[in-house]
Structures are given as C-alpha cells and as structure tokens.
Amino acid sequence: MKRKLTLIMTILAAALMASSCSQPVPTGGDYGPVPASRFRGKHLVFATGTSGDKFIWEFSGDRFKISGDDGPIPGDAVFTILGKGQVAKAIDGRWTVDEQGLTLTGITADGKDGYKDVTLRPFQTPVVRVDLDGTQYVFRQLP
C-alpha cells in the first residue's frame, strides 16, 4: 500500500512539474510583421543578457540613423549592418518595413558609402526585438 501511494505521488508530482514548466519564447517565431509605426522615432536599443551593449537608433520619414549611446556602436550591430571588420561612429541610410522585414538601403558609415543592403527580421514579444549576429536587442522608445 505504501509503495502504491509513493508511486501515485511521484506520478502526480512529475505531471504537475511538467505542466507548470513554460517553454522559452523562440526567437524569430511566427509573430507577424512589425508595423512601421513601431519604428518611427528615437529608440534606445539594448542587448538582452549581461553585456550592457546599447545604441541609439532613430527612424524619421524614410531615413534611419544609428549612433552610440555613451560609447561605440556595439560590434555585433556594426557587423550585421556593415559587414566583417568594419567600424563606425555613425551609420545612416534609408529604411522600409514590410512582411519580409526591416530593409536598410543606401547605407553610409561615417559618411562613406558602398555597403550592401540589409534586411533584418524584427519581431514583437510584445516589445520589438531584433537579432544582430546572435545577440537579441530590444527597442525602447525615447521621448
């Protein structure tokens, strides 16, 4: 009898534990497109995790501008937008957003052009996030 009770309690405990565990939110899941209105304005864009990396990303009309926030633009952001081995204090260009993602074109870095167009795939969870070279960044609207 005691063995049966122990077995039943073990099964119940396992079932409760399994049902209470939530699965992590997958990055880039089926969240649907982020509307352009969520990008317009000035944002502090900060890395999740412990790095403390952050930068400013402004969207106005059809133009964007990226700059450091009390420091350089994080390397993974520069790598994703400009390519390997690049550095920049300021990145700007044109932007559009549609079902395919956030597309950056006419990109210049510190006044130099010749960079390839880039399409990023931001998603909402409910905040807007984007993956830059394996680091997830969150957009926070600034006044």
Local confidence pLDDT in tens for the 143 residues of the chain? 555 544 444 444 444 343 333 333 444 456 778 999 999 999 999 999 888 999 999 999 999 999 999 889 999 999 999 999 999 999 999 999 998 899 999 999 999 999 999 999 999 887 899 999 999 999 999 98
Structural domain range at position 71: 36-142
Q: So what's the pLDDT on residue 17?
A: 40
**Is 4 contained in some domain?**
no
Asked if residues 59 and 34 have their Cβ atoms less than 8 Å apart, the reply is no
> How many separate domains does the chain show?
1
Distance CA 72, CA 105 (A): 22
**Is 30 contained in some domain?**
no
51: three-class secondary structure by DSSP? coil
**Is 10 contained in some domain?**
no
In degrees and rounded to multiples of 5, residue 116 shows phi and psi of: -70, 150
Q: So what's the pLDDT on residue 29?
A: 55
* Long-range CB contact pairs, 48-54, < 8 A, 24+: 48/129, 48/135, 48/136, 48/137, 48/138, 49/135, 49/136, 51/135, 53/77, 53/135, 53/137
**Is 60 contained in some domain?**
yes
Q: So what's the pLDDT on residue 125?
A: 82
CATH number, domain containing residue 127 = 2.40.128
**Is 82 contained in some domain?**
yes
User: 132 CB contacts (<8 Å, ≥6 apart)?
Assistant: 74, 76, 77, 79, 80, 81, 120
Strand partners, 86: none
